[in-house]
Amino acid sequence: MEEVDVEPAVTNIPAASDGTHLGFAWGPGDILVYETLYKTSGAKASGCPFIHEVRKDEDIYSPILRKLFNESHHIFVGLQTIREDLPSKNKKPQFVSISKNYRSVIRACMEELQQVAVSTKVSQVALQYGNQVSILLAIELIWNLCEVLFIEAAPAGSLLLHLLDWVRLHKADVDEKAREVLQSESPAEHHDYWDVVVSYVLQGRLEEARQMLVKQATLQPAARKMYKLMDSLLSKMPFYNPGGTQTLTEFDVKWRHWHEEVDRCLQDNSFASNKHLELICKVLVGDEDTLLAHKDLLSTWYHFLVTRLLFCHPTVKPTELHYYAQSCMTMFLDPRSVPEPLDSILLAAFEFDIHQVIKDCSIALNNWWFVAHLTDLLDHCKLLQSHNLHFGSNLREFLLLEYASGLFTHHSLWQLAVDYFDHCPEFGRVYLELQIERVPLDTERKALKVLRICEQRQMSEQVRSICKIMAMRALRNNRLGSALSWSIRAKDAAFATLISEKFLQDYCARGTFSDLDLIDNLGPAMLLSDRLTFLGKYREFHKLYGEKRFSEAAKLLLSLMTAKIAPRSFWMTLLTDALPLLEQKEVIFSADQTHELMFCLEELTSSLNNTTPGTDRPMQDEDIEVTKVELLRLALARNLAMAIVKEGTVEA
């Protein structure tokens, strides 16, 4: 699509002083605006301490419109499941059904907004909801027309019937007026009576018009013959039946005969004595001056177009529509006025210029919802295949990416955006990777949601990033179990080592482990780092000791030291843990195992003696260390003697 030559809308920043210098920072969907300290020469030094948030798309924050986004998301996902290999003849009814589903969601939101706008007592809120209703009305009008012209692709004959339904649906004020007339004491004498009758005729609702005329005929017995003639003309008007046996040519001949009969009645002055019936007769022959004289009842140029086609060109072909649309718009609108964006969009649709419709809607509407979903549907109908953008992805993908990126700025709607990115084959994954990193992980539950999305799509880098963030947050809050769980999930060996150290420090300080369930069920995850392996095995030692499986506990404790899995700083704790085993009546450590323990103790004491003399260690701590070493030496010597005696006795 070429560059758009339109001036951007001006956004006024409240409380920002006139002539001040503003700074800004771009966000994913919003802009932060603030006053800077920069002053132009002669400017007063008053400043504003506020930061203003300028939102690109306010609609996603409307609770009612959020229903529109949620419901349309389900329809969108369903559309993507339609098999590509089905013949287009079979898919067309499905596409029409999906289009109607989209429109029903728009209508439901529109009705809810209308109710809230009427019931609210706050004028500003009522105005806001009223504006949203107007926008949705225009959206539904455009979508319905696109459905008729592009998705249904109705041929000549059927086309006019669809256009009549389109106008009737969007010009419903005649029904309210008719209800008011019929509920009055004397409907035929009501001041809006003839407006209702003519409106019915203009919409091709001739049966309703006949029923209304009966009420007038009963009041005027003298003119009964004239009313009977009008009733006959109205009842005879042929309408094309697509499912019938009549061909379009046969219908055209029949319609022309009827049209000539109406024209004869007009030329014969059959209704000259009744201006209202004469007016209806002129409408039936499609008299342009008469139609244009009733702009107030038609209200729009496209209603005028459909009425003109009904009474002048009922077999109009799709390829001829643009000519009639352009001429009707020119005749109906004031030549000095500039067409509204809606007029230009509808005219582009009648000209079958799909890309111009999408382009104009993108400019006129304040979010991407409409163009993204309509373009996606039209693309599935194979109507946009020839149009690729010069910067990469096709039009469908570009609009879906823009729409989904907007959803990602919302605290809950971001979850919907994931499916939209999933169905953008070229750039969807890249966008998702960038956007998912910006989702604030406010709670662990939300973090798990984001994590599940990333894991399902094998986004390993994002999985690691999320787990690291959550692990760091848990560590700052001193929730070691949660921090370890997240670091294991991230497969971050360095961080798992750090948290394992914290666990061991916590054990040294308190004498017990926190989060036992997690440590007891580490399983293969303990192999992530040596320190984590040690933590798991050390906890296993405590379990064996608690279960009085002393021999197995002793073997495990020794292996932790000799295999160098245990950190050197923790050796004294391990040797101290060996003391109760050494003090048992039954010999648990063999002579070889006791020698190993003695070697470890000597290695530890020699390294402690070689520490820098200037280190500040309290005298009391040194005394405790010396006492521990002496106790261990004594216990080891006693155990060695007992082990040698026992082993010698066994050998003998």
Average pLDDT over all residues of the chain: 82
DSSP state of 94: H
More confident residue, 614 or 369: 369
Question: What pLDDT, on the 0 to 100 scale, is given for residue 532?
Answer: 75
Query: Pick from 483, 481, 436: which is nearest to 455 by CA?
Result: 436
Averaged pLDDT, 460-471 = 88
- Is the separation of the CB atoms in 481 and 518 below 8 Å? yes
Confirm if 1 and 389 have CB atoms less than 8 A apart. yes
Give all strands of the β-sheet with 51-55 in edge-to-edge order.
22-26, 30-35, 51-55
Note the pLDDT of residue 40: 61
Contact 338, 357 (CB under 8 A): no
Rounded Cα–Cα distance for residues 267 and 441 (Å)? 79
Query: What sign results for the dihedral spanned by CA atoms 511, 514, 519, 521?
Result: positive
| Torsion sign over Cα 395, 396, 397, 401 | positive
In whole angstroms, what is the distance from residue 392 CA to residue 431 CA? 14
Which of these ranges, 93-102, 212-221, 225-234, 577-586, has the smallest mean pLDDT? Answer: 577-586
CA distance 208 to 182: 12
User: Which residue in the block uniquely carries the two structure tokens 């459905």?
Assistant: 147
Identify which of 49-53, 254-258, 573-577 has the greatest average pLDDT.
Answer: 254-258
With a cut of 70, say whether residue 619 has pLDDT above it.
no
| Pair 329, 347: CB distance under 8 Å | yes
- Residue 454, pLDDT > 50, answer yes
Q: According to the model, what pLDDT value does residue 608 have?
A: 61
Looking at residue 2, its pLDDT comes to: 45
Helix (H, G, I), strand (E, B) or coil at 31: strand
pTM above 0.85, yes or no: no
> 428, 401 in Cβ contact below 8 A?
yes
- Residues 229 and 265: their CA atoms lie apart, in Å, by 9
Which band of pLDDT confidence, cut at 50, 70 and 90, is reported for residue 652?
very low
pLDDT at 456 over 80: yes
307/286 Cα distance (integer angstroms)? 8
pLDDT at 350 > cutoff 90: yes
What pLDDT is stored for residue 102 in this prediction? 95
- pLDDT digit string (tens) for 102-132? 999 999 999 998 888 888 888 888 888 888 8
Measure the CA–CA gap between 310 and 204, rounded to whole angstroms: 7
pLDDT, tens only, 469-495: 888 888 888 888 788 788 877 777 787
Give the pLDDT band of residue 255 (cuts 50, 70, 90). Answer: very high
pLDDT at res. 319? 92
Residue 551 backbone class (left: φ over 0; alpha: ψ -120 to 50; beta: rest): alpha
Q: How much is the pLDDT for 612?
A: 47
> Which pLDDT belongs to residue 639?
75
Which of 68-72, 524-528, 618-622 is predicted with the least confidence, judged by mean pLDDT?
A: 618-622
Q: Residue 314: count other Cβ atoms within 10 Å of its Cβ.
A: 25
**Which tokens go with 509?**
């300080």
3-state secondary structure of 32: strand
Residue 101, pLDDT score? 95
Q: What is the pLDDT of residues 127-168, one digit of tens each?
A: 888 888 899 999 999 999 999 999 998 888 899 999 999 998
Going along 294-336, which residue ranges are E strands?
A: none
Coil/strand/helix, residue 33:
strand
Task: Report yes or no: 517 and 485 within 8 Å, Cβ to Cβ.
Answer: no
**Which residue, chain included where needed, has tokens 């728009």?**
106
Question: Cα angle vertex 87, ends 85, 89, to 5°?
Answer: 150
d(C-alpha 406, C-alpha 600), whole Å: 63
Look at residue 5 and tell me whether its pLDDT is greater than 60.
no
Q: Average pLDDT for residues 610-624, to the nearest whole number?
A: 57
